[in-house]
A and B are shown apart, each in its own frame.
Chain A
């Protein structure tokens, strides 16, 4: 089987624009703008343009999944995303402070 070589770029070095993030999350750009303007999704601002890094992509996909899977409204989905991020952060702290092996 032929092996293709793929050029990989780190999203944090080459951030996504509004349309790229929307496409990556299978939503409309309007959905993204609404969530940014409501303060539920952060972004980097560059020359008045919204740019999105890895953490924004992960959060946007969580919001989409929660809204679609559970018919959750924006705020409820954001609360779920907040809690998941908090759990991740606490797990990292626990792992660092207690010598708990990863995994």
Chain B
């Protein structure tokens, strides 16, 4: 098991005061706040920061952690020595963010409710049944998954008590069915897939917030989807029937005669399914053939001659 350097995580020294620890935590909480941070691994870093603060902001946990840190042999795989927590009582709440489902094996083995229960202290000491904590995570899906529904495999790590009451970290794979018609920002709930309960109590739930994977082809707002469709100048000018691949399959679309660049065509009910279903908007984008040979160049020159009054910058006052 990897020993966690909580002081380093918060960027403070071992003699830092409670105020200094809180100040450092708040600074990092702003930096890695999942809603505003530009850092790619913001959620993971925020979990590390929360974990470090959950220990260092609690005098009992901090004292126990300091004792462990002094006794550990550097560079070796860490195992807590027997009786390391004698005299300490971790009876207060867990992380500042409200749950510790994303915390490390190190934390779960030493400071979690399950660990306290194993040692006969804290919440589980009286053998009272306790429900496990709820977990929250985000799951990325493709737009097509929202149209058709999908199955996703999730790997979950969790701390459980084995038959002898020891905390063991187990990994399991969960097959999750993503419901058809789901929108970005919605959450799905998986009952009983959070932390296991204590002393026979029920397991918590797992909540997954849906987000769509970036896809430059589509822009999504609620259940409405906008898709850019390249068209040739003659298709836009003369009108045409074109075949367009959409998230729900290929569709024959009539491009009206005289369409300009940026014209939006609405395909009612072809957005993300639901009640009501969203709409699909096709935004026309003129694609110009390259003038890369003599004949193509001559065609462009002919157009220039035949449209002497055409001024594409008329609206700019040019």
Complex Cα spacing A103 to B218, Å:
11
- Interface centre among A3, A62, A65, A95, by most chain B C-beta atoms within 10 angstroms, is A65
Given known A-B contacts A8-B179, A8-B188, A3 and B173 have beta carbons under 8 A apart: yes
Within 8 A of A (CB), among B209-266: 209, 212-216, 218-221, 226, 228
Tell me whether A26 and B99 are in contact (CB under 8 A): yes
Complex Cα spacing A62 to B179, Å:
25
Tell me whether A4 and B214 are in contact (CB under 8 A): no
Chain-A contact segment, one of B73-81, B111-119, B129-137: B129-137
Tell me whether A11 and B188 are in contact (CB under 8 A): yes
Residue of B nearest to A94 (CB): B219
Q: Which of B133, B171, B174 contacts A26 (CB 8 A)?
A: B133
- Assess whether B169 is interfacial by the CB under 8 Å rule: no
Tell me whether A1 and B189 are in contact (CB under 8 A): no
- Interface mask (A70-103 → B, CB under 8 Å = 1, otherwise 0): 1000000000000010010000110110011111
- Assess whether A34 is interfacial by the CB under 8 Å rule: no
Given known A-B contacts A26-B99, A69-B26, A69-B29, A8 and B216 have beta carbons under 8 A apart: no
- Inside 8 A of B220's CB, which chain A residues have their CB? 96, 102
- Inside 8 A of B286's CB, which chain A residues have their CB? none
- Assess whether B190 is interfacial by the CB under 8 Å rule: yes
- Inside 8 A of B205's CB, which chain A residues have their CB? 23-24
Q: Which of B98, B133, B208, B216 contacts A65 (CB 8 A)?
A: B98
- Assess whether B176 is interfacial by the CB under 8 Å rule: yes
Tell me whether A96 and B219 are in contact (CB under 8 A): yes
- Assess whether A33 is interfacial by the CB under 8 Å rule: no
Residue of A nearest to B175 (CB): A5
Within 8 A of B (CB), among A30-86: 54-55, 57-58, 61-62, 64-65, 68-70, 84
- Interface centre among A16, A64, A69, by most chain B C-beta atoms within 10 angstroms, is A69
Tell me whether A23 and B189 are in contact (CB under 8 A): no
Distance (whole angstroms) from the CB of A88 to the closest CB of chain B? 8
Tell me whether A54 and B97 are in contact (CB under 8 A): no
- Inside 8 A of B216's CB, which chain A residues have their CB? 101-102
Tell me whether B214 and A62 are in contact (CB under 8 A): no
Residue of B nearest to A27 (CB): B98
- Inside 8 A of A4's CB, which chain B residues have their CB? 172-175
Q: A1-B171, A10-B182, A23-B131 are in contact. List 12 more A-B contacts (CB 8 A).
A: A3-B174, A3-B175, A5-B177, A6-B190, A7-B190, A54-B185, A54-B186, A55-B185, A96-B219, A96-B226, A102-B219, A103-B214
B contact set with A: CB distance below 8 Å: 25-26, 29, 35-36, 94, 96-99, 131, 133-134, 136, 153, 171-179, 182, 185-191, 193, 204-209, 212-216, 218-221, 226, 228, 283
